[in-house]
């Protein structure tokens, strides 16, 4: 029984990490209508930006985290403007293939600079907290708290600000939003930046919780897709809920299957959703 609750807690933490890039991916997909595989690599860029500040410059992980938000937002906007802007009218399959090319380029740049080995942040080590036989590291509690704060901030941005309302309007009905005077290209740049920053934050959290390597983002991209699809494409709140479900499903699956097959759970959920309810189980 303790093992179940331990995996359940791990699933909530994993869901919090996945929810941030899932929100950005979901909103951007709703506008541009293609799966941007580069979102996984934005996560990797964020992790390595924080590593550079922490390991090379000797700064704290807090400064590394702040730098990852700015740098990864810049990377996402740069990729969008240099790679995708001139291809907006192309078929979604073409854009998806181009995004895979962007993944290879970014990953190999990271590999060229840092190599292909595992990396770790230089952060203090604390004793785990134990409650009823369930242990949680201090870093995990901070990750969970920070993820919740970011989700609330994004929810507030989308619900309470004019910018957020414009983003939601464009995601819900791009043609009508443009007729009403919303600048589509400006919104795409802003959503790319916000999505990149969220992915960068998720990369730092994932690097703290596990390890850092050039394929860390690629390894979770299917889980990000599954969270967005489960929650209903274009719904930020749905992406959050979907990420929690995916995180719990992947971690609890370890009670039945080896850890090497954990990533297949996300793919299986994607297949089930597309067969049973393509609009997403959480879509209103």
pLDDT tens digits for 104-163? 999 999 999 998 888 999 887 767 667 666 777 777 888 888 888 888 888 788 788 888
Is residue 193 within a helix (H) or strand (E), and if so which, with residue range? helix 184-209
Is residue 170 within 8 A of residue 158, CB to CB? The reply is no
Is residue 94 within 8 A of residue 33, CB to CB? The reply is no
In three-state secondary structure terms, 131 is strand
- Give the phi and the psi of residue 133 in degrees, each rounded to 5: 85, 0
Tell me the pLDDT of the chain averaged across its residues: 84
- The alpha carbon dihedral of 208, 151, 225, 32 has a sign of negative
For 45, other C-beta atoms within 10 Å of its C-beta total: 26
Is residue 130 within a helix (H) or strand (E), and if so which, with residue range? strand 129-131
- The pLDDT of residue 187 is 85
Q: How confident is the model at residue 271 (pLDDT cuts 50, 70, 90)?
A: confident
Q: Please enumerate in sequence order all residues whose Cβ is within 8 A of that of 208, keeping only pairs 6 or more positions apart, or say none.
A: 61, 121, 123, 139, 143
Which token pair is 151? 């989700």
User: Which pTM value belongs to this model?
Assistant: 0.87
Strand partners, 129: 136
Which domains are assigned to the chain? Answer: 2-276 (1.10.3470)
- The pLDDT of residue 278 is 67
In three-state secondary structure terms, 29 is helix
For 3, other C-beta atoms within 10 Å of its C-beta total: 12
- The pLDDT of residue 204 is 93
For 39, other C-beta atoms within 10 Å of its C-beta total: 28
What is the spatial distance between Cα 245 and Cα 256, in angstroms, rounded to a whole number? 17
Closest CA to 44 of 71, 11, 81, 84: 71
DSSP 141-186: HHHHHHHHHHHHHHHHHHHHSHHHHHHHHHHH-HHHHHHTT--HHH
What is the spatial distance between Cα 107 and Cα 113, in angstroms, rounded to a whole number? 10
Per the model's pLDDT, the better-predicted residue between 266 and 162 turns out to be: 162
- The pLDDT of residue 203 is 93
In three-state secondary structure terms, 235 is coil
């Amino acid at each position: 029984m303790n093992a179940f609750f331990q995996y359940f807690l791990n699933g909530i933490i994993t869901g919090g990490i996945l929810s941030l890039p899932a929100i950005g991916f979901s909103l951007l997909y709703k506008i541009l209508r293609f799966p941007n595989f580069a979102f996984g690599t934005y996560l990797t860029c964020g992790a390595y930006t924080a590593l550079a500040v922490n390991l090379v410059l000797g700064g704290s992980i807090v400064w590394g985290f702040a730098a990852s938000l700015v740098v990864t937002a810049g990377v996402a906007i740069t990729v969008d403007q240099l790679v995708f802007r001139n291809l907006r009218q192309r078929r979604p399959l073409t854009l998806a293939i181009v995004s895979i090319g962007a993944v290879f380029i970014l990953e190999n740049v990271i590999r060229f600079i840092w190599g292909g080995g595992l990396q770790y942040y230089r952060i203090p080590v604390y004793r785990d907290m134990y409650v009823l036989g369930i242990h949680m590291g201090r870093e995990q509690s901070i990750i969970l708290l920070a993820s919740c704060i970011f989700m609330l901030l994004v929810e507030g941005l989308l619900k309470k600000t004019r910018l957020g309302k414009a983003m939601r309007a464009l995601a819900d009905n791009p043609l009508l939003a443009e007729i009403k005077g919303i600048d589509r290209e400006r919104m795409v740049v802003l959503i790319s930046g916000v999505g990149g920053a969220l992915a960068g934050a998720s990369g730092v959290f994932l690097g703290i919780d596990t390890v850092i390597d050039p394929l860390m983002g690629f390894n979770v991209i299917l889980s990000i897709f599954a969270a967005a699809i489960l929650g209903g494409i274009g719904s930020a709140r749905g992406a959050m809920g979907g990420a929690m479900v995916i995180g719990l499903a992947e971690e609890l699956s370890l009670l039945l299957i080896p850890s090497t097959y954990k990533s297949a759970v996300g793919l299986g959920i994607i297949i089930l959703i597309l067969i049973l309810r393509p609009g997403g189980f959480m879509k209103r």
